Structure 1
């Protein structure tokens, strides 16, 4: 009999109840100890885990250890603008409130410290429009689509309300409050906190501080009330036992007090951002923004140096990638090298490279779409996304869904146009007010129907996945069009691969009661 056959069979077991940092330490010991995980966890205390992490994580830079500590968070009552920044991580898992299935009239909104009457009036005007357009579109849908006999009335109304919210959300301002939950590993949390603390937005910096505090302070224990009742019952029987029980099941647990305690604003990101923003302004000064399609698939034969220099500048301006690349491509090799050096020179020993350095993917889509639709596309993590700032320079979209009543047919077109115009006037008034962080405060007044620009770099599998998922008939009509255009562009570039895309034709009217 071979010697190997005498070894015990493979052991697989799930783990519950270990603190995130203790579990990370126990798993890290696989590389240094022959103990199994049960024995490792039995001998590890929180204090020993902290000592280990202080040595190997911070002194030796073994960052992968933090990948083993996963921590759930709830982040509630933050603006849509801040939520977009919060979730802008390539290693992120979570869920946010849906503008399709929830009425945001009761959400309230975020008001920056320096906001004045023009800000409040602008937000109130958009919420009023959201209420009117949502109610008006629901009425139009009910008139156009009768309830089938096979469908319950409450399901019918709920489904059409979702379709009405799909239109009404175009006038929701970025100030609107939302809530979300995230489960991230400690390394992602540390970089997330550092990035948020570096933001030019006061609200986003505040959220970074609160995330760091939440990881360092005792976590909310969902079982605390039940456990406290058990301790109270034990107290009546045996006070000494009750004390020991309380020490075990009521002790405060800090989820990641060691791994995020040194998270601070990133000098690398802040200094690089300032210098790249200056370089982009200097390079493109005086150029108008050329018209661009909703989806622009860039050529795949671009020299890497040109892509790197263009990608570094792209998030710090409002030009399309194609227009920006044309100017970068006309520079000398030395000038492009100087731009690339701006993204490198402030990098510290443990700093991850700026996202723009994630270059060389075969399919690169420059998207110009409404902010609301972008929020859905933003959830795709298996690609590199470069986001530009929110602005009024690209105008706004009209909510048009094949087979659904238009704003004109619902009698809402004039209200929509007037609401968007008023929002832009308020935006410009606040932006030009001269108050501290006026440019940041003004962006909260931009409705979700405003266009924003973002670069999505990916491989073939991700392009196929996004095109298939986002073109589905149950999806929002905004990103359905974008997914369809991505498919069309990829098919023209690689016609032999077109048959492998299982997409839905977005130009075909759909059954609006289908979910």
Structure 2
């Protein structure tokens, strides 16, 4: 009998236990380890003993029986697999990591130069569009380099090097600040790399979701992830033993027909509900964040929230605007909308994420895609993402306490890069939507730049010239670039691949639902001086929204106003 096992007690006597033992495990195949841990519920063997008696074949037989026939999916939670995913677009990376139970790390656009990373090219239907795509991406990368170098020089003029700091550290620190601004021009086509560690249940759901994507690159990514999980793992030690990843647990993954069918039904329902209503502007006092508050004593509040949350990812409307439209419907119609979220659900399909978003503190957030990618990493909340579009305009990298791009020598470079990208998006068949704010003119939507700081704000004129106004974010479209509009709010692009040319400056909308503790955590973490201005600004507005609605709870936030001056040489 092994030394770590207690003696068999006499009949009727309690067991005399040894001290608690903890040991790490290394080298077991993920599926074998999952089987061994699952045996705790069916065997008195220790994990050491279970691993010694288990073969890969026995693990497969066990998983086929209990996982697939009896639905013991918690077993897959025990099989954790590490993957490297390299040379995928930023657009695909956002889709890949969009899992509530996901752990990983991606290349940072703040600390790495992306000029040499390359970019993804989708299959375009004619040579003219292919050339437009190539030239637009090339222009954006050239602009990225020019703005990065130009803003580095602006920062050096603004912030002299201290005598105690060597030149290399000084330049490196300010170059990171320059990347903070230049990254706004990186297109979603830009290649990145990431590593992820997920359990097999999350992996199975992730693959199924990716296989059902409207983007060809993302469907191919799902296939490659399934192939990698079904084959052998790379072994850095050079061990000749073949390590299997999770072939049994992912072999039945298929595209999520439930998600695809639901999207079509909910998109049509949203179109029918909203008609050609323009997208309302965000509140003037909080242009990036809106806290959703349920009216006190409202009848059917949960049903209204569920219906709104189901429709939200398939529109470009504010949550509050969409909710008001749902609220005006008869009760039976509201319940019919809720049923659209489950009507196509299969036996093993989980409820849509929207069913978990109708509670807690809910923040409707409108921000640049680059900053959103940082916010997207938070897992202790429910996130509903809307599709990419040019409808919300874009942000300009003008940050308090440092030289603004819009007032720099490279302002025109930034403006021309954004102009070329937005025109290319429209010409490549990108989604068009109604006027971007309720006060827009009947002529159609205008492209607008935004700046959260009291700094020069660029206005792009119809003739291509760049004008400047001094102030805060504009409340309505200024004279700018005309873009074609559709009489109905199309939420799915005629050509979804047009989104690849949208730069990270482009604004996107998402709903974050969380408990109070997570709201405090995000607000505190994302408002620190070392962070990027974009999400520091959003974190501050989240705090302010809670403070206005629940003033007695504001004291629990340890937060710093992002408008206060910061030391640009501290990271």
Normalising by structure 1, we get a TM-score of: 0.93
Report the equivalent of 2:364.
366
Report the equivalent of 1:269.
259
| In 1, Cα distance between equivalents of 2:430 and 2:244 | 44
Change (3 A) 1:408 1:342: closer
Equivalent position to 1:255, from 245, 249, 254:
245
| In 2, Cα distance between equivalents of 1:168 and 1:50 | 50
Matched, 1:340 2:334: no
Question: Does structure 2 retain, via aligned residues, the 8 Å contact 1:300–1:362?
Answer: no
Residue 361 of structure 1 deviates from its aligned partner by 2.5
Equivalent position to 2:112, from 91, 95, 102:
102
Report the equivalent of 2:515.
459
Question: Does structure 1 retain, via aligned residues, the 8 Å contact 2:424–2:501?
Answer: yes
Question: Does structure 1 retain, via aligned residues, the 8 Å contact 2:396–2:406?
Answer: no
Question: Does structure 2 retain, via aligned residues, the 8 Å contact 1:304–1:359?
Answer: no
| In 2, Cα distance between equivalents of 1:175 and 1:494 | 41
Report the equivalent of 2:383.
385
User: What does the per-residue CA deviation read over 1:21-73, in whole Å, with 9 as the maximum and x for residues that have no partner?
Assistant: 00000000000001111100000000000000001001100000000000000
Matched, 1:478 2:501: no
Residue 338 of structure 1 deviates from its aligned partner by 0.7
Report the equivalent of 1:242.
none
Question: Does structure 1 retain, via aligned residues, the 8 Å contact 2:430–2:499?
Answer: no
Matched, 1:291 2:291: no
Aligned pairs for 1:167-178 within 5 A: 167-178=181-192
| In 1, Cα distance between equivalents of 2:16 and 2:229 | 45
| In 2, Cα distance between equivalents of 1:498 and 1:432 | 42
Question: Does structure 1 retain, via aligned residues, the 8 Å contact 2:430–2:496?
Answer: no
Report the equivalent of 1:137.
151
Aligned pairs for 1:73-112 within 5 A: 73-112=83-122
Aligned pairs for 1:84-483 within 5 A: 84-114=94-124, 116-224=130-238, 227=239, 250-292=240-282, 293-301=287-295, 303-431=301-429, 439-483=495-539
Residue 487 of structure 1 deviates from its aligned partner by 0.6
**What SS class does the counterpart of residue 81 from structure 2 fall into?**
strand
Residue 360 of structure 1 deviates from its aligned partner by 3.8
Matched, 1:36 2:60: no
Matched, 1:48 2:58: yes
Unaligned runs of at least 5 residues, structure 2: 1-11, 432-491
> Greater share of helix residues, 1 or 2?
1
Residue 92 of structure 1 deviates from its aligned partner by 0.2
**What SS class does the counterpart of residue 428 from structure 2 fall into?**
helix
Report the equivalent of 1:245.
none
Normalising by structure 2, we get a TM-score of: 0.84
> Alpha carbon RMSD of aligned pairs, Å?
1.6
**What SS class does the counterpart of residue 279 from structure 1 fall into?**
helix
Question: Does structure 2 retain, via aligned residues, the 8 Å contact 1:402–1:507?
Answer: yes
Residue 5 of structure 1 deviates from its aligned partner by 8.1
Question: Does structure 2 retain, via aligned residues, the 8 Å contact 1:430–1:438?
Answer: no
Residue 308 of structure 1 deviates from its aligned partner by 0.3
Question: Does structure 1 retain, via aligned residues, the 8 Å contact 2:266–2:311?
Answer: yes
| In 1, Cα distance between equivalents of 2:557 and 2:222 | 40
| In 1, Cα distance between equivalents of 2:323 and 2:493 | 30
Matched, 1:503 2:503: no
Residue 151 of structure 1 deviates from its aligned partner by 1.4
| In 2, Cα distance between equivalents of 1:163 and 1:48 | 54
Residue 504 of structure 1 deviates from its aligned partner by 1.1
Residue 362 of structure 1 deviates from its aligned partner by 2.0
Change (3 A) 1:507 1:360: same
Report the equivalent of 2:485.
none
Residue 411 of structure 1 deviates from its aligned partner by 1.4
- More displaced, 410-419 or 453-462? 410-419
Report the equivalent of 2:569.
513
Unaligned runs of at least 5 residues, structure 1: 228-249
Residue 500 of structure 1 deviates from its aligned partner by 1.3
Alignment coverage as a number of residue pairs: 488
**What SS class does the counterpart of residue 501 from structure 2 fall into?**
coil
Report the equivalent of 1:230.
none
Question: Does structure 2 retain, via aligned residues, the 8 Å contact 1:304–1:360?
Answer: yes
Residue 438 of structure 1 deviates from its aligned partner by 5.5
Question: Does structure 1 retain, via aligned residues, the 8 Å contact 2:314–2:387?
Answer: yes
Question: Does structure 2 retain, via aligned residues, the 8 Å contact 1:368–1:452?
Answer: yes
Residue 409 of structure 1 deviates from its aligned partner by 3.6
User: What does the per-residue CA deviation read over 1:275-331, in whole Å, with 9 as the maximum and x for residues that have no partner?
Assistant: 111111111111111111310001044611000000000000100101101100000
**What SS class does the counterpart of residue 183 from structure 1 fall into?**
strand
Question: Does structure 1 retain, via aligned residues, the 8 Å contact 2:398–2:406?
Answer: no
User: What does the per-residue CA deviation read over 1:188-245, in whole Å, with 9 as the maximum and x for residues that have no partner?
Assistant: 0000000000000000000000000000011111111xx4xxxxxxxxxxxxxxxxxx
Change (3 A) 1:318 1:437: closer
